[in-house]
Amino acid sequence: MQNSLDGVKAILFDTFGSVVDWRTSLIADLSAWAAGRGIVADWVRLVDAWRAAYAPSMDEVRRGERPWTKLDDLHRATLARLVAQFGIAGLSEADLDHINLGWHRLRPWPDSVAGLTRLKARYVIAPLSNGNVALLVNMAKAAGLPWDMVCAAELFRHYKPDPETYLGAAALLGLRPEQVMMAAAHNGDLRAARACGLKTAFFARPTEYGPHQTRDFRAEEAWDVVAEDIIDLAARMGC
Amino acid sequence: MQNSLDGVKAILFDTFGSVVDWRTSLIADLSAWAAGRGIVADWVRLVDAWRAAYAPSMDEVRRGERPWTKLDDLHRATLARLVAQFGIAGLSEADLDHINLGWHRLRPWPDSVAGLTRLKARYVIAPLSNGNVALLVNMAKAAGLPWDMVCAAELFRHYKPDPETYLGAAALLGLRPEQVMMAAAHNGDLRAARACGLKTAFFARPTEYGPHQTRDFRAEEAWDVVAEDIIDLAARMGC
């Protein structure tokens, strides 16, 4: 571990894509659920379209065009639009609610739980995610993610990459920005965190978007740590 | 378990006195630290006076006479006053900071970790405490409290028993008030939680205030659950 990282007390993790494999999880979850009900739909395309609407829907909030709206509600509004667009018939409101909660049931990448468990012995670990608290708490219970705290964008009423999220999480933990490390599979998240004074750790998730992945195959800047995955991050952080 | 409790999804715990033994912990922590430095003071009296100032200091915030101030800062201001009042000499600012962080190092009651661990298997468990996030996160790491989330008054910028705390915690967890149970060794906390629609669980901590305990020896109302301790609460909640 480099000396400049000796002062790190907490590690914040991007969650969707970095800790959990949203695409494979959602496709499997929805396909199995629909098969059991005889509902035919192209869940792969729907999941990709759902995720494609993620950043634009948060950007409306970030630009102030829409009042603060938690991610569960952004997801739900996008889902209603996509179900109509894809012509999926016969879904009740309760069905749509169940599908929407698929984001609460995402599965971790194979290294996530083991790596986080090692890091937890030495550092405060928490998600710093655009997911809302209920989503992240339910996900953690289902997936076994051993967080010390859940830092959700909802607590700051700002979405990443707004600086209020990175600085707000450090303040809640009673730490200075340089005592906090942001860990993510997304270079853009780390750029925003570094601009706020946080330390940074990158590990690639090259299959996050399946065949549609176009970026984040590798570290694009000299991040403080570049690791293979979260287990390797634990080793590099002395755990 | 009674049928009316079937819908409970999350259990929120009062922390100081209910989960951790602040008085014994602080007296032992400060006495050992001071003995190592040759600092003589009546730490028992100081700890009792410090806690006696707790509710009045929060009440200033609750009545709007003082802007939002997190508990670490209320504790620190009280400590500075008490050290002068007790004539304890030779303490640096760093010493006062160390003493103040004694609240982050509180020890659990003997049943707390085992009981919470059992409850966690079935329920979302979190503190709902007037402690700030950093205090509660550091306490949980030191004491091994396996929280799923940390609900601190700081997140709502209101201190208990303001309704914003109970209702704010339920909203963050995505639950209706009746899906949330407040568990505490203090009848007053439960009265406020019940008024907000939460379920309630009481267990006594008759030595919390040592020889100065004057109340909360027993349940004063027909709370939904009255248990011996947190292990017994787990049993009564089907864990």
Q: What is the pLDDT of residues A85-106, one digit of tens each?
A: 999 988 999 999 999 999 999 9
Q: What digits encode the pLDDT tens for the residues B45-63?
A: 999 999 999 999 999 999 9
Q: What is the pLDDT of residue A2?
A: 57
Q: What is the pLDDT of residue B89?
A: 87
- What tokens does A11 get? 């590690």
Q: Kindly report the nearest CA distance between residue B211 and chain A, in angstroms.
A: 34
Do you find a cis peptide bond into A161, omega within 30 degrees of 0?
Answer: yes
Contact indicator for A135, A103 with CB cutoff of 8 Å: yes
* C-alpha pair distances (Å), B193 with each of A75, B64, B206: 31, 21, 21
Q: What is the pLDDT of residue A4?
A: 82
Q: Which residues contact A217 (CB under 8 A, 6 or more apart)?
A: A204, A206
Choices 3.40.50.1000, 3.30.1960.10, 3.40.50.720, 3.40.50.150: CATH for B3-21+108-236: 3.40.50.1000
| The residue to which tokens 């999220």 are assigned | A165
The residue ranges of chain B whose pLDDT is under 50 are none
Q: Which of A172, A175, A176 is best to mutate for the B interface (most B CBs within 10 A)?
A: A172
CB contact under 8 A, A134 and B72: no
Q: What is the pTM of this model?
A: 0.96
**B175 in contact with A at a CB cutoff of 8 Å?**
yes
The residue ranges of chain A whose pLDDT is under 50 are none
One-letter amino acid at B42 equals: D
Structure ipTM over 0.90, yes or no: yes
How far is residue B226 CA from its own chain's centroid? 18
Q: What is the pLDDT of residue B186?
A: 98
| Fold matches, A3-21+108-236 and A22-104 | no
- What tokens does B234 get? 């787990």
E strand spans, chain B:
10-13, 124-129, 151-152, 180-184, 199-203, 225-227
Which fold would CATH assign to domain B22-105? DNA polymerase; domain 1 (1.10.150)
- The candidate with the shortest Cα–Cα distance to A54, out of A88, A15, A84, is A15
Q: Where are the domains of chain A?
A: 3-21+108-236, 22-104
- The candidate with the shortest Cα–Cα distance to B86, out of B96, B94, B73, is B96
CB contact under 8 A, A148 and B133: no
User: Rounded distance, CA B165 to CA B148, Å?
Assistant: 17
- The candidate with the shortest Cα–Cα distance to A70, out of A132, A160, A128, is A132
Q: Which residues of B touch A147 (CB under 8 A)?
A: 148
Q: Kindly report the nearest CA distance between residue A187 and chain B, in angstroms.
A: 28
- The radius of gyration of chain A from alpha carbons, rounded to an integer in Å, stands at 18
Q: Which residues of A touch B172 (CB under 8 A)?
A: 132-134, 154
- What tokens does A188 get? 């853009």
CB contact under 8 A, A148 and B137: yes
CB contact under 8 A, A150 and B154: no
Which fold would CATH assign to domain A22-104? DNA polymerase; domain 1 (1.10.150)
